[in-house]
Amino acid sequence: MSQSTLSTARLELLPLSAEHKEFLYLLDSNPEVMKYIGYGKPLTADESGIVLNHLLETATSGSGLGTWAGFADGEFVGWWVLAPSQTDDTPPKLNNDRAVFGFRVAPNFWGQGFAKEASRELLKHGFQELGVREVLGDTMAINAGSRATMATCGLRHIRTFHNQYDNPPPGIEEGEVEYRITKDEWLALRK
Ligand SMILES: CC(C)(COP(=O)(O)OP(=O)(O)OC[C@H]1O[C@@H](n2cnc3c(N)ncnc32)[C@H](O)[C@@H]1OP(=O)(O)O)[C@@H](O)C(=O)NCCC(=O)NCCS
C-alpha cells in the first residue's frame, strides 16, 4: 500500500519527498527546534540530509506508514512521522502493528494547535486504515511541548528511562519518557 495524502481542517499532509529537503533543513538548523532533539544542537545541511533519508525510509515498508509534510495555505508548517517500529530480533525486523510517532513544527506556527491537529489525523489513519495496534512516542522528559502534544492526543506516559550518550544534550539528566496508546484505548476515547 502506498502512503496516502491526508488532510485536516487547516492542513494538507503530503507524503514526504526529497523535494521537501529545504523545509526539513529550515527546522533542523533552528536551535529552538533542536533544543531537545539529538545532541540539542542545530544540524548541518549534510546531517539534515541524513535525517531526510531516514524519514523517507519510513515509507518503504509498503504498509502505508511513513512521514508527512504539512502545509497550511501552501506554507510549510512541519512534519509528522508514523513509522514501523523495529523488533528485538537480530537483525531487527519491521513491525507495522506497532508504530512510532514523532513531529516537528516550525516555530512561527507554534501554539496554534497544528501539532495536535495533524497528530490526531495520523493516529486515526494508522488505527482505522493501516491496521496499527499500538503507537509509541518518546522524548526528553523536559520537553513539555512534546509531552503535552502526545498527552492531548491520548497517549499515556508509560516509563521514564536513562540512556548513556557521548555528547548528551543539556537536560538529559531528567531522562527520557515513553508514551503509548493502543487501538482499544484510542477507540474508547472516541466513544
Ligand atoms: C512540541 C511541538 C511539536 C508543539 O507544537 P505546537 O503546534 O505548538 O503544539 P500544539 O499547539 O498543537 O499544542 C499541543 C498541546 O501541547 C501544549 N503545548 C505546546 N507547546 C507547549 C510547551 N512548550 N509547553 C507546554 N505545553 C505545550 C498545548 O497547550 C497543547 O495542549 P492542550 O491540547 O492540552 O491545550 C513544537 O513545539 C515543536 O516542534 N518543538 C520542537 C521539536 C520537538 O521538540 N518535537 C518533538 C520531538 S520528540
User: With a 6 A CB cut-off, is 160 part of the ligand 1 pocket?
Assistant: no
Q: To test the ligand 1 pocket, which listed residue (68, 116, 155) has its Cβ within 8 A of the most ligand atoms?
A: 116
Q: To test the ligand 1 pocket, which listed residue (34, 55, 149, 176) has its Cβ within 8 A of the most ligand atoms?
A: 149
Residue 168 lies in a domain: no
* pTM greater than the 0.95 cutoff: yes
Kindly report the CATH number assigned to the domain that includes residue 78. Answer: 3.40.630.30
Residue 119 lies in a domain: yes
For 129, the grid coordinates are 486504515
Residue 156 lies in a domain: no
Q: What HEC string does the chain produce? A: CCCCCEECCCCEEEECCHHHHHHHHHHHCCHHHHCCCCCCCCCCHHHHHHHHHHHHHCCCCCCCCEEEEEEECCEEEEEEEEEEEECCCCCCCEEEEEEEEEEEECHHHCCCCHHHHHHHHHHHHHHHHCCCCEEEEEEECCCHHHHHHHHHCCCEEEEEECCCCCCCCCCHHHCEEEEEEEHHHHHHHCC
On whether the CB atoms of residues 85 and 100 are closer than 8 A, the answer is: yes
CA–centroid distance, 90 to ligand 1, in Å, is: 36
User: With a 6 A CB cut-off, is 35 part of the ligand 1 pocket?
Assistant: no
What pLDDT, on a 0 to 100 scale, did the predictor assign at position 108? 98
Residue 182 lies in a domain: no
Residue 17 lies in a domain: yes
Residue 178 lies in a domain: no
* Ligand 1 atom with least separation from CA of 102: 48
Residue 177 lies in a domain: no
What is the per-residue pLDDT across 144-155, written as a single tens digit (0 to 9) for each? 999 999 999 999
Q: Containing domain of residue 59, as a range? A: 6-137
What pLDDT, on a 0 to 100 scale, did the predictor assign at position 137? 98
User: With a 6 A CB cut-off, is 119 part of the ligand 1 pocket?
Assistant: no
What is the per-residue pLDDT across 130-177, written as a single tens digit (0 to 9) for each? 999 999 999 999 999 999 999 999 999 999 999 998 888 999 999 999
Torsion angle (degrees, nearest 10) of CA 148, 60, 20, 41: 50
User: With a 6 A CB cut-off, is 169 part of the ligand 1 pocket?
Assistant: no
Q: Could you give the number of structural domains in the chain?
A: 1
Residue 58 lies in a domain: yes
CA–centroid distance, 83 to ligand 1, in Å, is: 20
What pLDDT, on a 0 to 100 scale, did the predictor assign at position 167? 86
Residue 7 has pLDDT above 90, yes or no: yes
Confidence class for position 191, pLDDT limits 50, 70, 90: confident
What pLDDT, on a 0 to 100 scale, did the predictor assign at position 168? 84
